[in-house]
Structures are given as C-alpha cells and as structure tokens.
Structure 1
Amino acid sequence: MIRDTQAQDTQIVVKSKRGKYLFAAVIAGSLLALGAFYFSSSSANTTMSLNRDTVKIAQVTRGDLTRDIATTGFIVAANAPQIYSSSQGYVQLMVDPGDEVEQGQIIASVYSPELTNELKQHESELQRLTDELSRKELQVRRDKLALARTLDMAEVTLNAANREHRRALLSIKDNLISQIDMEQAQDDLARAKLAFKHAQQEIEIGKDTLAFELKSAQADVARQQLVVDELKRRVNELDIAAPVTGVVGNLLVQQQAAVSPSQALMTLVDLSAFEAELQVPESYANELGLGLEVELKIGGDTVRGTLASISPEVKDRQVSARVRFDQNQVDKIRQNQRLSARILLENRENVLMVRRGAFLNEGGLVAYRVNGDVAERIQIQTGATSIANVEITNGAQEGDQIVISNYDSFKRSERVLLR
C-alpha cells in the first residue's frame, strides 16, 4: 500500500486582521498615556501661563567676567590756563576767540598810567641815590686824605721833638742850656708822641666811619634798584604773553575795558594735551582708584587710558574723574567731544555667569529656571556685575536656562507654564 504525504503536511493558522488592529490600538494608547503623563507632570502645580516669546532666556555659562562701570563723558583740555591782568588799567586785546597762538606771543596789553608814572619816579630816585653815592665816594677819598695829612703832620712833629730832645741832652752835658730848657724839650717830645698816637687812632676810627657811610649809601642804591627792577617787571608784564601754544577760548572782558589786578581776561586751550572727563554715579565713588584702566570709545575709535584724578566732591549725585590717554590713537579729536567709557574695576576668572537683564530688579536673589515648558522660581545669589554679565555665586549650575527679563508678569508664581 502506498502511503500519502499527509504526515509531512503542517497546518498553518491564518491570523485575523482584527488582532493587528488591537495591537496597534494598544501601542497608540500607550503613547497617548505617556504623553499625557509627561504633560501632566511638567505642568502640574502651575498657576499661570505666559507666552514664551514675551520672555528672554539665557544660559548659565562659565568664563571670565570683567567687572566694570559704564559711564559717559566728554573731551577736555588737560591744560586750559586762564589769562589774568597783572595790574590795574585799560586792556587792549590782540586776539579773537578761535585764533591760534604760539607760546610767548603777545595776546593782550594793559595800559597803566599809575604804574608807569611810579616807575619813572623810582627811577629818578635811583638816579639821585646813585649820584649821592658817587659824591659820598669822593668825600670819603677827601676825608681819607685829610686823615693821612693829620697823621703825617703828627709824625713830623714827633720827629722834630725827638731831635730837640737829643740836642737838649747833648747841650745839658756841656751846660749850654738850663735844666728848665731840658725839661721843656722832654715835655715837647711827650706831647708829640701823644699827638702821633691819637692821630693813628683817629685814622682808624675815621676809616671805619667812612666805610660805614659808604656801605650805607651803597645799600640805599641797591634797595632802590630792587624797587625799580620790580616795577620794571610789572611794567613788562603789562604786555601779556601766551603761556602755551593753542587756541584762544573765550574772551572774558571787552576791548579797552577797565580791569583790576588779577582779573581774568581770557582762556587758552592747549591742543597738544587732552583728557577725558567722566561722570561716575555716586554709588561707585568708593570703588574708584587712581590708575584703574579705562576703555574709551571716541567716535569710531576705541582707546585705553588710566584714571588720573578723582574729584573729592559729589555734584548732582555724580563724581567727576579725569582719564589720561594717548590722543595719537584718535583721529580729529575735539574739545567737548562726547564719548562713552568703561572703567575696568577687576577681572574674575572661571566664574558662573549669565547675561545681564532686568531680573536683577529683584535684588539678585530670585530667578526663574526654565525646564522644558515650565519656569520654576528658585533662590539665587549674585556677585560681581559688568555691563554684559552678572556673576551667580549660588543657586544655579552651568547649563541652566534662566529667564533674564522682567519678572513683573510672573506675579511671584512658583511655577509658570511657558506655552
């Protein structure tokens, strides 16, 4: 008997299409459930929602933060002297505002009749004292000659008395003269010696007296010469010269005006040296220090300078500071030209920071960290701030997303949905 192939056959069960649809429905339901769970978990406990486009979000990064102060100012001349009248009189101005002047150039002259007349009077007095000194020198020579004659006559008398005394000594031995004549000769010799001695002393005193009188006359001339020299200096200063090379600024008096001593006449501007004058808010005054680096933006040029001076007073809640810089790096610099500046206080390396924004209005203690579609209120601490960034010392980590715009629309909510 021949067997058939029945034993080799395998029965195949055909699955119905209904099972496929059921499996697909289970998968779709699972996905929907996962989506609903995610949505419910992320938006749970949110009390309000905001449009994401109405807020600004920035990422917390790590890097170097330069702490600085943003301010404005203007260009001023480092050397802008005022010109003053040296005496009372009438001024003649020889320049106009805007004129260029060279150092030493005569820019104004003061006509002072009183000072000119005073100079002439003292010059006349000096001439009189000089003539008096010359006369005194001649008199001294004459007096010295008289003293010398007196001494010479006393010496001659002394010599004659010596001879008479020697003759008397010889004559008394030969009994040619009496004892009385001998004593008379001795008295004459004694008188001659005394007269010669007094003549010597008189000459010494006379010479000292004449030297003193001559020195006194010379002192009078020297003193009067000083007066004349001072008046000449004041007269020469009536022609006022420019102390620097620059440009005439403002005229402070009118032509041929009557001026008093030390009255301001005009201002000069030295164009060879400029400085930047900055107005710094009073709150930063204690942080300023001489030598701080400053970045200036003048027109289209950016230059670096150093803080050279700080005003000790506060005006309109601002402190004035002067910055020195290399003006050769700037083209066409002008007086009173406006500028912006950054005063670099310190540089902090490797710190957490986020872009600066209006969220600092909360005092730097509160922020909203974005996680998906939810912004969660967190506590933070901020440190140094710059124009562009603010340091975060606590409450956030690198890579966190933080809302940096104003928080008024958040109404202090703990969780806000960003749709």
Structure 2
Amino acid sequence: MIRDTAAQDQLIERKSGWRRWWRLGVVALVLVIAAVAGLPTLGRLFSATASVSSSRLAFGTVSQGSFVRDIAAEGQVVAANSPTLYASYGGAVVLKVRAGDRVSQGEVLASIDSPELSNKLAQEQSNADAAKVAWLQAQVDARQKRSDQQNTYDNALLERNGAARDLKRTQLALDAGAVTQQQVDQAQDALDKAKNSLAQAKADQGLGENSLSFNIQAKKLAYEHEVLMVQDLQRQVENLAVRSPVDGQVGQLFIAPSAAVAKDAQLLSVIDLKALEVQMQVPESLARDLGIGMSGVISGNGQTWNGLVSAISPEVVNGEVAARLRFVGQAPDQLRQNQRLSVRVLLDHRENVVTVPRGSFVDELGGAFAYVVHDRLATRVPVRLGASSIDKVEVLDGLKPGDKVVISGTDNFNNAASVAISD
C-alpha cells in the first residue's frame, strides 16, 4: 500500500478577515474620492469632439512684459550710385582700365576714335568762320548804305532850304512889282517839291536803317547758330574720352579691351564706394510696418554702424520685399560691394504688453480664435490679436498671462469647440 502525504499536513488556524476588509474599504474610499475629484475633467474629456496627440502640437504660455518689434535679417552691401558709361558716338573704343581698378573723378577710362565726328567738327568750324565773315561784311555794307542815305537826306535838305529862300525873294520882288504872280507860284511849287523830296529821303533813311539792322541781326544769328553747332560738336569730341563721373572702382566691363561699338553702346560701370547701402529682404508680413526713415543697426566685421531705411521696393518677390538702409554719416571704407552684413531695424518697443509666442495658429485660425489648454483639454476661445514681431504676437483681448495655448498644429482640430489632447 502506497503512503500519502497526509501525515505531513498541518492544520493552520484561520485568522479573522476584518483587516482584509479594512484595507479593501480604504482602497474603495480612495477610488471614490478620485472619481469625484475627476468628474469635471472626465466630463470635459468625454465632451470633446476630437482627440489629437500632443506630439503633433506645439504649446506656448501667455506672458506679460516688454514687447519689441524688430526685423533682423542678413543684408548685402550694394552701391547706391553705380553709373553705367555709354559710347557717346560710334567708333573704335580702347579701354584704359580693368575691372576692379580704383579710379578718380575725371579720369579717362576709355577713348573713342571717330573720324566722322572729327570731320564734321572741322566742317562746322569752317561754316562758322564763313558766317562770321558774312556778319562782319553786313556791318560794313550797313555803314556804307547809311552814309549814302544820309547824303541823300542832306542834299534834299539843302534843296528845301534853297527853295524856301527863292520863294522869299520872289515874294519880295512881287511886292515891289518886279516879278509876276506866276513866278511866285513857280517858286512855291519848287519849295513844295523840295519838301516832298526831303520827306521821302527821311522815310527812306528810316526804312533803310530797319532793313540794315534786320540784315545784320540775321547774319549775327546765323553766325551764333554755327558757333553753337561747333560747341556741341566740340563737346561730343571731348566726350570721346570717357571719364569717370565719381571717385570709386571699375565694376563690370561690357566690351573687350579694344572693340568697335555703335552709339549709346554700354562700355563699363563705375561703383561709387562712398555711397554704399545695405539691401535686406523683409518678409511680406512685416514689410507693411516698415517705413522710410526708420532707424536700424548694421553690424559686421566685428563693428556696428547706425543706419536709416532709405528705400522700400513697391513689389513683392517670392513673399519678400527688398529694402535698403544707408549709413548715418560716411560709409565705412573697409566695406565691399556684395559683402554680407547683419541688419536689424527697430519697429516698436513697449512695456507691460500681453503676448503669446508666435506660431502658425495666427494664420490657421485667422487670428480670431485660440485654443487654451487646461487639464489636457484644448478649448477654443475668441481672441483679438495686435501687432506681431519675430517671435511674439500682441494679445489685445481673450487671453491672460499664464494661459497655455496651442500655437501650432491647430489645423488638426478642424475648428472643433474642444479637443482632447492625448500623450
């Protein structure tokens, strides 16, 4: 017969279960208290119309403090004055400088050989000399004609005076009975004829003077016209020597060192190194607040310079607007065109402003709503936003300091009134 283990069994005294029930009661009480405390949160969570993972969202806290609106960007040094020189006349051009050479104002940069223009100048100079001779000859002829007209007038005056004396003597003779009335009448007719001749000589003298003056004036104007033609051609010939309009540096060469070009062809450009500006690209959203005359800070090469906004482009290219800053005072000598510098333009600075970190929610919700997070539940609330900076947005109404706001990823909410946020 096989023995079992009954001999090894030992009866254990069964203890009272009040302690076990007491523990269970404490656990149940804790669960009830937790359930009562979490009922509002659970209610909100169950009332949410959607649930989104927090990994797809970005959060920010509303704060109150200083609000600085500025634009910080990388700028590029450009020449505010970079004239391009053109050929004033067609011909063979020889460049006397190379790209990058330093030049001074008035220095000859290129010369143009134009035989056609030189010949035209010589012809016009000859025409001017001929016009001058014609003008001088007209003056000599005028003096001669004035002398002849004066002689004619003087003779008519003598005849008039002689006829007057003859009439007087004849009248006296008639009174003495020595002559007849017919002779007196003849003397009177001779006087009248002499008067008419004198009047005609005087009129001819006036008309002749006007004619002579007009002729001299016409010859003079013709001569002055030729002089102006010569001066213009001389200016064109002088411009065949292309000179630098500013102190600066030769920029781009548009032709070979020796080439034949047509009139108004581009030759080269000159960069005025004393008129440098810094061009920056501003996001379209911030460009509307940018104005000419705003102060800025330009930094680079371990130095800092003050600047002013001098120009703003009227067009938007790839979502950006080009703006230029000029240096306050004289531009630094060590700068070069196309050099990269850092630019910061101050738009606004205020204290005690309620702000929220800037995020895509401004565009996603149109700036009219924001989702405030409390107990893992995001609730949509109406807000009114103000100015924007690089990293902050001014809050005018709807949010208070300390509020936790969803600043990115609200496009996942589909405009729901409340959204549960899961881990």
TM-score band, normalised by shorter chain: 0.7 to 0.9
* Range 261-270 or range 181-190, more displaced: 181-190
* Range 153-162 or range 247-256, more displaced: 153-162
* Residue aligning to 1:389: 392
Q: Distance in 2 between matches of 1:48 and 1:206?
A: 112
Change (3 A) 1:295 1:388: farther
- Give the 3-state SS of the residue equivalent to 2:258 in structure 1: coil
Offset at residue 140 of structure 1 (A): 1.1
Q: How many residues of Structure 1 are paired with residues of Structure 2 in the alignment?
A: 388
* Residue aligning to 1:106: 108
Residue 250 of structure 2 corresponds to residue 248 of structure 1: yes
Q: Normalized against structure 2, the TM-score is what?
A: 0.75
Change (3 A) 1:197 1:377: closer
Q: Normalized against structure 1, the TM-score is what?
A: 0.75
Counting only pairs closer than 5 Å after superposition, residues 302-317 of structure 1 correspond to structure 2 as 302-317=304-319
Counting only pairs closer than 5 Å after superposition, residues 135-174 of structure 1 correspond to structure 2 as 135-169=137-171
Q: For residues 177-223 of structure 1, what are the alpha-carbon distances to aligned partners after superposition, in whole Å with 9 as ceiling and x for unaligned?
A: 67766655454444333333322222222222222211221121122
Residue 232 of structure 2 corresponds to residue 230 of structure 1: yes
Change (3 A) 1:299 1:195: same
Q: Distance in 2 between matches of 1:395 and 1:194?
A: 111
Cα contact 2:274–2:331 (8 A) shared by 1: no
Amino acid at match of 1:80: S
Cα contact 1:379–1:395 (8 A) shared by 2: no
Counting only pairs closer than 5 Å after superposition, residues 222-371 of structure 1 correspond to structure 2 as 222-326=224-328, 332-356=334-358, 363=365, 365-367=369-371, 369=373
Change (3 A) 1:145 1:51: closer
Cα contact 2:274–2:330 (8 A) shared by 1: no
Offset at residue 98 of structure 1 (A): 0.8
Q: Distance in 2 between matches of 1:87 and 1:153?
A: 63
* Residue aligning to 2:10: none
Q: Distance in 1 between matches of 2:359 and 2:332?
A: 33
Unaligned runs of 5+ in 1: 1-21
- Give the 3-state SS of the residue equivalent to 1:104 in structure 2: coil
Amino acid at match of 1:94: K
Identical columns (%): 34
Amino acid at match of 1:267: S
Residue 81 of structure 2 corresponds to residue 79 of structure 1: yes
Offset at residue 269 of structure 1 (A): 0.9
Amino acid at match of 1:289: G
Offset at residue 310 of structure 1 (A): 1.9
* Range 204-213 or range 351-360, more displaced: 351-360
* Residue aligning to 1:7: none
CA RMSD of aligned residues (A): 4.1
Unaligned runs of 5+ in 2: 1-18
Q: Distance in 1 between matches of 2:52 and 2:172?
A: 156
Q: Distance in 2 between matches of 1:116 and 1:213?
A: 32
Q: Distance in 1 between matches of 2:93 and 2:57?
A: 68
- Give the 3-state SS of the residue equivalent to 1:257 in structure 2: strand
Q: Distance in 1 between matches of 2:215 and 2:412?
A: 102
* Residue aligning to 1:18: none
Q: Distance in 1 between matches of 2:213 and 2:404?
A: 102
Amino acid at match of 1:218: K
Q: Distance in 1 between matches of 2:93 and 2:167?
A: 87
